[in-house]
Chains A and B, each alone.
Chain A
Amino acid sequence: MRLAERGMPFVVALVAIAVGYGLSVGLDGYFVYLGMSAVVAGISLLGLGVVTGSAGMISLCQLTFGAVGAWTVSALNEAQAPGGFLTWLLLGGVAAGAVGVLVGLPALRLRGINLAVVTLGLAAAADLALVQLQFPGVSGGISVERPDAFSDDRSYFQLAVVVLVLCCLAVYFLRRGRWGSAWQAVAFSERGTAAAGTSVRTSKLTAFAVSATLGGISGGLLTGQVGLAFPASFTAIQSLALYVLAIMSGAHLIDMAVFGAVLWVGVPELLKRWGIPQDWGFVVFGVLGVQALASGGNLGTTVRQVWYRRSKKEPAKLDLAAGASTVEPVSPGPPVLTVRGLSVNFGHVAALSSVDIAVPEHGVLGVIGPNGAGKSTLVDAISGFLPNAEGSVELGGSPLTGSPSNRARAGLRRTFQQDRVPPGLTVGAYLKFLARRRLTADEIGEALDFFGCPAARTPLSQVDVGARRLVEVVGHLLARPRVLLLDEPAAGLPHEEHVAFGERLRQVPARFGVSVLLIEHDLDLVRSVCDTITVLDFGRVLASGPQAEVLADPAVLKAYMGETELL
């Protein structure tokens, strides 16, 4: 079964190459030429699928990267550089990727919309500049030689199909790997990505670089197809159109990128046959693009939904009912996470004022307090999301500083109150992404079972919100951090499950070797899990110490007066 699954992409690839061969032999010469154009567009769209579809960024200069590829191939051809066309093609991709990184660098810390402005600016500038400069070799009429074995149209189409299939395979495996998970994660939540110890910038940059590389390869391939590259093939408007097409076809799905490419060539061709000006093609794309964005869907997901309708299931839920085997608890040791004098000010409002906290090794510290007491601010500050926080945080005796992803890698993980689980991944892929290490299937299965979570193969989009948050907890535990900060992990669960969840949580230090800081509103849960408790009120520590002592403190009782979950 597993072997079949691993081999599947290669089988599909072979079938695709065979189909390509069949088309190259069976089709009329004109259609073979159109087919080449479709393949070229397909590679471009595949790239856009990575950057816009997976990583959720707006990139409007895909054909500028194509132009870089075309430029490289033309220049190498003019210079008669060694290696021949295929090497040049690859170099064109590399050059475009490098340009992509350069363009992406300033846009790194930005939300998608600034990247859109940057890329449109580049596309517009490159458009004008290309018209003035022209491609190398064009003035002298030195056309790009196709490789000897693929000199005629039919065989060049076969070559193009092979290149496309290789690109598809590359994208398929990248998407399944760490990079792909990071793209999905960063598209859904940058904070979630950073909390998993993955650099937000690197994730965005890799997506941008891969997309640009594919754009470059597509441009190089186009140069081989037409012989001489012209600026008219790489205008800003066509880049816009490709972007819109990627949105409307759902190009993050590989088959839909290919389908989009067929539309790219097919729609203008049909219009031509019907005697309609070809500019209407872009109008059609534009209208469908607006429709796709406004309805939040696209052709790709619609087709897939029709396909999978039979197997459509209820959202997967938690199953915490079954009693899991218990482990002997370990007695808490000396503090592993020490926070001293932590202060956070938002303007004139002091959200936290010199808070001291200590999480014991192999222990569970509960942090409670009324709404607005600064509990979530505490988690944000410790995990590095509030760089302006004052005070010191020590993990295992050494100071914990830097960005959230650095802190996560140093062994401090956190979860969020809101859903930060990227719906595009499966449970298993998400766990691997969070864990940042090799996991065996057994390890994953065991951890999921322990918390009653859905199986690893389940897509997260089919998991209900409460269960998603426990999947997040499981993933962070599998990362084996020293300390895990849980921000109201039980908030999405039905009340009966709180107790069962608490039982599991109690075993976490012994079972996973992780110490826990738990923020929770449900005092029953806190009471059943935490050895020590710290109470926050208006950003100050009201009381701290062993559970029974703290909960009997009159000051704590007073702070909780009026709260429904009164002791």
Chain B
Amino acid sequence: MLQGALAGLAAGGLYAVLAVCLTLMSRLVRVVNFAQSATGMFGCYVAVFLSVDLGLPMWLATIAGILLGGLLSALLGWIVSTWLAEADTGTRSAVTVAVLLLLISLSFILFGNKPQPFHPILDGPALTVGGVVISQVTVVTVALAVLVAVASRIVLSRTPAGVQLRALSERPTTAELLGIPAKRLSIAVWAVTGVVSTLVISIVAPSQSNDATSLAMLVVPASAAALLGGFRRLDLAVAGGLGLGLIQGAAAQVDGLSVVRYFLPFAVIVALLLWSQRKEVWDAAR
């Protein structure tokens, strides 16, 4: 059980990083980015293509893939902030649903629908805790999750850009009237989360079921984790991701739970919503 739970921690770290990205996006640019992990998936696939088919060195291909992930995300951000600047969160997020579909189908066309021959960036055990081996991937993803959350927190609270971003998210019109470059900042947020999600997916993908659909659908457990923090709190998003990974890993050990396991993120989402929505809220301030 413990072995399984700790094995699930690598996935948990991945969920946590993606959940942090989702939370940042939701807070700062008013979007629930359903294409968050699909962008990462696409970047990783291109990296594999560059290294396997074009013979680029692994590290270079990986960097290219990560940059492409950021670029794709920035492009999407440009589209959303150009044409949907005034739209509500629902419409803005609906665009990312279309992009999710687009990226999955494109990856089928370009790379086929077989899992890709990923080459692990990190390999092997890092340390042993009480007889249970913990892999390097686990250590790095968990560390990355905490690091990204802490870094975002510091950037948002301590730097001028962070203050501008917060102003932009709280009072978009006022902030823009004050001369804050709304569009540029929004696109930067999209780009950074794109880079971070591609990075973490390229670390974990070699040890995960890594077909395009599975990778793109990582957004489901990630949003379950983000919901723990109500798409607002970064620390809870990290905790949610790690927790979900642990539970899933433990459940994978029990044969009778095999089908139930698939529904875990869904069940977690529903349970969290039931709990967090006890108080009725209205769609507009007044």
Question: B-contacting residues of A (Cβ < 8 Å)?
Answer: 56, 58, 60, 106-107, 109-114, 116-118, 120-122, 124-125, 128-129, 132-133, 189-191, 235-237, 240-241, 243-244, 247, 277, 279-283, 285-287, 289-290, 293-296, 376, 380, 385, 387, 403, 416-418
Contact = CB atoms under 8 A, between A and B. Distances in A.
Contact of A387 (B99, B273, B280): B280
Contacts of B108: 279
A379 to B, nearest CB: 9
B286 A243 contact: no
Contact of B97 (A116, A124, A129): A116
Majority secondary structure, A binding face: helix
Contact of B269 (A121, A128, A418): A121
Interface in B247-273: 258-259, 262-263, 265-266, 269-270, 273
Contacts of A294: 79, 83-84, 95
Contacts of B87: 296
Contact of B98 (A236, A281, A289): A289
B98 A293 contact: yes
Interface in B154-189: none
A96 to B, nearest CB: 17
Contacts of A129: 259, 262-263
Contacts of B94: 58, 116, 247, 293
Contact of B266 (A58, A122, A244): A122
Given A118-B270, A122-B266, A282 B258 contact: no
B208 interface: no
* CB-based closest 8 A-B pairs: A286-B102, A289-B98, A282-B105, A294-B83, A121-B266, A128-B262, A190-B283, A112-B90
A237 B100 CA distance: 9
Contact of B273 (A114, A190, A240, A281): A114
Given A58-B90, A116-B34, A287-B102, A236 B213 contact: yes
Contacts of B259: 129, 132-133
B83 A295 contact: yes
A526 B84 CA distance: 41
B274 A106 contact: yes
B212 to A, nearest CB: 9
B121 interface: no
A282 B101 contact: yes
A451 B89 CA distance: 37
Contacts of B205: none
B258 A132 contact: yes
A280 B104 CA distance: 11
B145 to A, nearest CB: 20
DSSP class of B's interface residues: helix, strand, loop or mixed?
helix
Interface stretch (B61-69, B192-200, B217-225): B217-225
B273 A107 contact: yes
Contacts of B106: 279, 283
A399 to B, nearest CB: 20
22 contacts: A106-B274, A106-B277, A109-B277, A111-B283, A116-B34, A118-B266, A121-B269, A124-B217, A124-B265, A124-B266, A129-B259, A129-B262, A132-B258, A132-B259, A190-B282, A240-B97, A244-B101, A280-B105, A283-B106, A287-B102, A289-B97, A290-B102
B6 interface: no
A294 B81 CA distance: 10
A408 to B, nearest CB: 14
Contacts of B273: 106-107, 110, 114, 118
A56 B266 contact: no
Contacts of A189: 283-284
Contacts of A112: 90
Nearest to B263: A125
Contacts of A190: 282-284
A290 B87 CA distance: 13
Contacts of B262: 124-125, 128-129, 132
Contacts of A106: 270, 273-274, 277
B105 A403 contact: no
A286 B101 contact: yes
A403 B224 CA distance: 29
Contacts of B223: 117, 120-121
B282 A117 contact: no
Nearest to B34: A120
B32 interface: yes
B201 to A, nearest CB: 16
A341 B170 CA distance: 33
B91 interface: yes
A447 B265 CA distance: 53
Nearest to A194: B282
A546 B277 CA distance: 45
Contacts of A296: 87
A279 B109 contact: yes
A418 B286 contact: yes
A35 B104 CA distance: 27
A56 B90 contact: yes
A264 to B, nearest CB: 13
Contact of A121 (B93, B224, B274, B281): B224
Nearest to B209: A128
A294 B257 CA distance: 43
Contacts of B93: 58, 113, 116
Contacts of A133: 259
B227 interface: yes
Contacts of B227: 114, 117
A563 B210 CA distance: 67
Most chain A beta carbons < 10 A, residue from B89, B95, B98, B258: B98
